[in-house]
Amino acid sequence: MLKKMVDKDRKRLKRKIHIRKRIVGTVERPRMTVFKSNRSLSIQIIDDGKGHTLASASTLEKDLRSIKLTVSGGAQLGEIMGKRLIEQNIKSVVFDRNGYLYHGIVKAVADGARKAGVQF
């Protein structure tokens, strides 16, 4: 069991490095990255040029603690993040799936942000 978890994490980190070679967030088009754990889900909008986080949303925030780590919860958090981006006049982002496979919660986050009006 432990070896399986170590292999799973190592494979994800390998995919993450491979993806990050090509994906770069700029001022005009920042990088939207997703992180999920067993208990929470986090989204960050990052300008890689300056190394600053422009916006973030997480299920650890007081207002958002009721959001569960499910596909519908991911879509809900993605919509909230999309609204925060629109308020900051960020209409287009580069999506960084952070080594996770593009299905389930990760896909729901992207679809939720698209529903709010953000383009990928």
> 39-95: per-residue pLDDT in tens?
999 999 999 999 999 999 999 999 999 999 999 999 999 999 999 999 999 999 999
Domains of the chain, earliest start first: 2-116 (3.30.420.100)
- Rounded Cα–Cα distance for residues 22 and 60 (Å): 30
Contact (CB, 8 A) for 93 and 30: yes
Residue 9's pLDDT band (boundaries 50, 70, 90)? Answer: confident
- Share the mean pLDDT of the chain: 93
Contact (CB, 8 A) for 46 and 79: no
Residue 97's pLDDT band (boundaries 50, 70, 90)? Answer: very high
% of the chain surpassing 90 pLDDT = 89
pLDDT of residue 1: 58
pLDDT of residue 6: 79
**What distance, in Å, lies between the first and last C-alpha atoms of the chain?**
37
Q: Which residue has the higher pLDDT, 4 or 89?
A: 89
Residue type, 102: Y
Residue 7's pLDDT band (boundaries 50, 70, 90)? Answer: confident
**Burial class of 61 by CB neighbour count within 10 A (0 to 12, 13 to 18, 19+):** middle
Q: Give bridge partners of residue 92 from the DSSP assignment.
A: 119
- Rounded Cα–Cα distance for residues 46 and 38 (Å): 23
% of the chain surpassing 70 pLDDT = 96
Contact (CB, 8 A) for 64 and 80: yes
- Rounded Cα–Cα distance for residues 91 and 120 (Å): 9
